[in-house]
Structure 1
Amino acid sequence: MMFIMGKVPQYPGDRERQEADSEGEVLLQNMLLRSLLKVSTKYTSLNLATTFPLSFLDPLMRMSLAPDPEIRLIVQQILHTLIDRRGNLAKLDKPRLDVTQLDLQLHKCSRQDVMFIKRNGPEMLLCLLESLELANNGLENLEAVYRTLALLWLEVNGPDFLPDVLRLTLDMQEIALNSEMSQTLRINLHILAITFANFVSCHSNVPGLFQYVKQVVSARQLASSHLLPDLKSHYDPHLGREPPAAPLLLDQARLTEVLTTHGLDASRLQTPFSNMMPSSASVWQKRQSILQNSDRDLNNITVEVDSMSSSIGLFKHHPKPPPESVSFEAMRRLVRAPPEERRAEQEEERQKLTEACRTLSLHALSQQSGAGADTLREKLDEIFARLSDAPDGEAAGALSDDPGQPPVYRAPTLQEMHFPELFVY
């Protein structure tokens, strides 16, 4: 799945909702995401953290804001398949109020899922909220986002996640009241807000929340039944001209009171997602740039180490040479030296090398790098000079004594060679 996701041309994800570069790119996105959806059906999710690593979650959520509604629908279907671990997806066909009759499977959230939702939950909810604002959403897109939210709550139904999902319903309602959008989308957002709040209240251990949401639903049934499911693609033009009255809307103060009464943290209800963090697209881009920068830094470190280890002369990091007196006692002292002392000596050599690279000129560095080679050349010249001055028959070899034959050089044997004292093997 990560391999396929890495091949999907990424939607830039800025707030201006720029159109796709070409039809070919949209077609390629469609094909690859459908392949990803097919593969995801064979995947068994154990916990959300392993199912959605950051390198996979970020591009997937960015694609949920793509300009093409079909692309967004496929992304939501991928999320459905990967989030659902209890077989609840087939029961969530559309938004409805009578969810208690669906026999949904609800289990206690694991610690790994709690940690995952603390790190990534707000960004995911903000991304889903922004996808609901897009003007070219069809009913399938709205219903798909609702199923994603419902599945996410069924899998992570902890008290720490409850304020976030309730804040999401308030933000849906706020967008429907204050944003410039079509009448159909505005009414559908009001329906989604109350339907999802009802779904959460029915699957939480907060009786006060269930009673309050039921009260709002009853008020809508009496005064504005068009603000209750089902979603529609067209409404009477006379509906929705005036904003709903206060009793028909979810009230932030009442939700805060309910959470506080049940001992839950209600502070996150005070700040909308849009004020709590930047747009979801910029969040994903920032996190992706952090990953790319860290990878680039690691590559730079590798290059520096490799280049230093492959240089010659001064740039090569040699261990400290043994003392001048090569004896058994000297070698034993070297082997038995404390590791801390050896590390300190190596660190001192490394610092000297770094300081030389920073301060000396290129000419000086080249001279120091070639110093070892010059010394070796001088020693070889000295050795050859000594060998040339040696008597015949010794280190220089011997000539044949037969006067009838031409002189033939005979190489000295190992026993006849005299090695200079400078050579140590």
Structure 2
Amino acid sequence: MLKNELRDILALQKADDRGDWLESLTLRHDGHTLHVGFPHFYFAAWFSQHKRDLFEQALSCRFADAQLPHIEYEQPALGPALGHAQAWAPQHAARDATGRQGSGMAARSVVSAAPKNENDAFTAFIANAKNAFPLAAAKEIAEQRAGVAYNPFLLCGRSGTGKSHILRSMAATLRKSQTGNRVILASAARFCADSPAWVRHPELFWQQCDVLLLDDIQDLAGQSAWQQKLVSCMDACPAASTGGRRAGQMVFACTGQPQALKTLDERLRSRLESGLVVELMEPDLDVRMRYLQAMCKERNMSLSRDQLLFIAQRCSQFRLLQGLLLKVAAFCSVTGCDLSQADLENIVRTGVADKTPGCLEILGEVARAMNLRAEDVLGGKRRPDLVLARQVSMYICRRKLGLSYPELGRAFGGKDHSTVIHAIKKIKKILVSDKALQQMVTELELKTQ
């Protein structure tokens, strides 16, 4: 309710800010204190820089006729991948030019760097801002703060992006709830293949279950009888806790984009699409690196950053990364030797179907699209068409691989990081108005998936 009120205030005060970012915040009003939580470290840093003052101005308007609550910003950990929490602290109070605390603004404090609940099942899921919304929505449902607004909740995404992990985290969080939730977590095919007593009277199911989480909903395609069972079960789900009956919650996961629902019967598809449908994007290079670092720490493995980067660039899915790291661990255990670069290349070369292209592959695609030679683009000639191809290559590499500016500079023949920054900024500016370049960049990004 508070989020909706703040969003309305923002809409009146600042027409170009719809307050969508509020959805990623966790607000908990406890007496005279408002606790503000964040889905992860990166969102907290972005909020501190761009939205904190706007948020507090809206709060001041909301509590204009009442006592403004004390605000506590809960510091998120940077993630298990780095092994420790990196300090993050917004300014502790709004101050005027004289250094005094600003009037009408509550003093703000930052709580411990550790997660509020060390047993929180979601803390093990490594993500950044790209997947902040799906993760925040799943957590809000699991902590039962969403009411019936997100029912059903459908999580889509490619295989290996972490959908099953989130479903298990939701189930674990719900089962720990003090309200004693009765939770069923199963694959959609297994659930629908059974023929329990409630099939003829679906309302009986919800007398025995509070939350239903089904994975791999796409496996029901072509199975009309199974889909009919699920439709009946969804229709019988209690929508509100009236007469002592608790509202039911339905959560589903589907491999593929939301368009994959077209393979399902219309009746089931319409019910799924009537709820909240979100897509979990593939982890980018930063997330894959943090995931590998966390796995190495868990398995007591010692790999250099360059070795981890080499592995991370070869896979875009968590499962494949896990499999590769298992091969590396097995190799080191069997041979008893330190892992050389040649050994690592041989391990990666065998059995990895999902290879993320490197800088040279992307540069080669750009060169072919512009009828140029890759070696000329990589060189230092300043011919306009070569410069444009070089800048486009840097732009796509930055977006696809997430490499730092110095790393991109080294990959493109030892260029200075300032040259890379200038190139990426220039392409971003051109893309705003140049439709032909927009289309070419889009096609190149699709080719280099």
Larger Rg: 1
Give the TM-score normalised by structure 2: 0.19
Higher strand proportion, which one? 2
Give the TM-score normalised by structure 1: 0.20
Higher helix proportion, which one? 1
